[in-house]
Chains A and B, each alone.
Chain A
């Protein structure tokens, strides 16, 4: 991204950027609600990595995860006037992103929900062993990362979302309940059930530690 584009995107809200922390985020939200696109892009920049990784772990395909991330931010921008300033922006944004991911998963044929044979699912060693510059240690590390992703993808979407929000986005159960619109007790049960599944699928990896 060139500096010109970044300057065009953020140039209109330099004054907003001078504040800090949560107040800064609140200022960006208020400016976005007044129609300031540049202010909203500050919010996008702050949250894009977390939202993209959430989408990636939910959907597996990086291209689709990027599309879902873009859709989530566009939806958030169009509905920013509905956001109550006293609520948590992260919870609201996670809710939009989660719904986009679940919607994409639902629109897939059922067989693809748990499919592990896409390009992303191929053993990384096969793809990278040919690349002489990679050391064996790096390849093993990437394989291990991929197996963890596969284990997460082995969960049903509802459980996968709870693990994502709890373990990787570090939300509290009450916040997760707000995001997925389910009782806290249900969220706790899903988390426990997810850990039981992951314990089995990640068992071989734990022996390698």
Chain B
């Protein structure tokens, strides 16, 4: 048997079961034509299927019916129909429920009071005193008033909060506007100041220039006047040499002093 034969064996079973496609069936038939082992296998499988098909159907021992009254199974029959795994799981669950139930019953306490019976798991609740209708109404009224007051208070708190938020917003907006205006004013002042400074600087320069010119002119005049006087003095005092010399020296000192100013 070759590896190719092995591939055809399962197809052989499918062909005998009538479920091999015509294309694969042709391939299988061409293989069988040249392979005696696979042909022998085919005959054996045909014989096997033939023997199986010869098995007769048995008659049922009775007819089976479904009745209305037996359509619902009993719990016991349902339990019996379960597998062993499910039976074990159910038994464990039942044991757990039983244990919990016993534990709960062991802590059960009973109290009879004023014709009433109280059952409790664990400690019993405190005895409840009978309630009078008038006190109940007054309690209810107080409770409602308190609730209304509380609601009003809450409403007022909310209102205050909203007003506070609104005022805060308004103040913030006003402050922002003031800051903008102050900035504008500051900017305007700075511009004006700069302009004034420029103007003052220009005026000061002009004044210094005029002063310088005035002094320069005055100096020229003084010098001219001095020269004139010197000439006069020179002429008048040609004869008074020493006096003239002293006068000239004084005049020169005066002239130097004027030049420094």
Please list the residues of chain A having a beta carbon within 8 angstroms of any beta carbon in chain B. 1, 9, 37, 40-41, 44-45, 48-50, 52-53, 56-57, 62, 66, 69-71, 73-74, 77-78, 103, 106-107, 144-145, 148-149, 152, 163, 166-168, 172-173, 188-189, 191-192, 195, 198-199, 202-203, 205-206, 209
Contact across chains for B66 and A44 when beta carbons are under 8 A apart = yes
Contact of A66 among B49, B57, B62 (CB under 8 A): B62
Contact across chains for A172 and B68 when beta carbons are under 8 A apart = no
Most buried by A among B51, B53, B56, B67: B51
Contact across chains for B54 and A74 when beta carbons are under 8 A apart = no
Contact of B49 among A48, A70, A167, A189 (CB under 8 A): A167
Q: Could you name 27 residue pairs across A and B whose Cβ atoms are closer than 8 Å?
A: A9-B65, A37-B67, A41-B65, A41-B66, A48-B64, A52-B60, A53-B57, A57-B55, A77-B71, A103-B83, A106-B84, A107-B83, A149-B55, A152-B55, A168-B52, A173-B17, A188-B13, A191-B13, A191-B14, A191-B17, A192-B9, A195-B45, A198-B48, A202-B47, A206-B47, A206-B51, A209-B51
* A125 to B143 CA separation, bound complex (whole angstroms): 97
B-chain residues with CB within 8 Å of residue A74 when the two chains form the complex: 66, 70-71, 73
Please list the residues of chain B having a beta carbon within 8 angstroms of any beta carbon in chain A. 9-10, 13-14, 17, 19, 44-45, 47-68, 70-71, 73, 81-84
* A38 to B208 CA separation, bound complex (whole angstroms): 137
**Minimum distance in angstroms from A125 CB to a CB of chain B:** 18
* A24 to B134 CA separation, bound complex (whole angstroms): 77
Contact of A145 among B55, B81, B84 (CB under 8 A): B55
Contact across chains for B63 and A48 when beta carbons are under 8 A apart = yes
Contact across chains for B52 and A199 when beta carbons are under 8 A apart = no
Most buried by A among B9, B57, B84: B57
Most buried by A among B14, B50, B65: B65
B-chain residues with CB within 8 Å of residue A37 when the two chains form the complex: 66-68, 71
Contact of B13 among A50, A73, A149, A192 (CB under 8 A): A192
Question: Interface on chain B toward A: helix, strand, loop, or mixed SS?
Answer: loop
A-chain residues with CB within 8 Å of residue B68 when the two chains form the complex: 37
**Minimum distance in angstroms from B74 CB to a CB of chain A:** 12
* A195 to B10 CA separation, bound complex (whole angstroms): 10
Given known contacts A74-B66, A172-B19, A148 and B55 CB-to-CB distance under 8 angstroms: yes
Contact across chains for A168 and B55 when beta carbons are under 8 A apart = yes
* A199 to B65 CA separation, bound complex (whole angstroms): 38
* A57 to B55 CA separation, bound complex (whole angstroms): 10
Besides A49-B60, A77-B71, A103-B81, 17 more A-B contacts (Cβ < 8 Å) are A1-B63, A37-B71, A40-B66, A66-B62, A71-B81, A74-B66, A74-B70, A74-B71, A145-B55, A145-B56, A168-B52, A172-B19, A188-B10, A188-B13, A192-B13, A209-B47, A209-B51
**Minimum distance in angstroms from A71 CB to a CB of chain B:** 7
B-chain residues with CB within 8 Å of residue A148 when the two chains form the complex: 51-52, 54-55
Top 10 closest pairs, chain A to chain B, by CB:
A206-B47, A192-B13, A77-B66, A52-B60, A192-B10, A148-B55, A199-B48, A48-B64, A107-B83, A202-B51
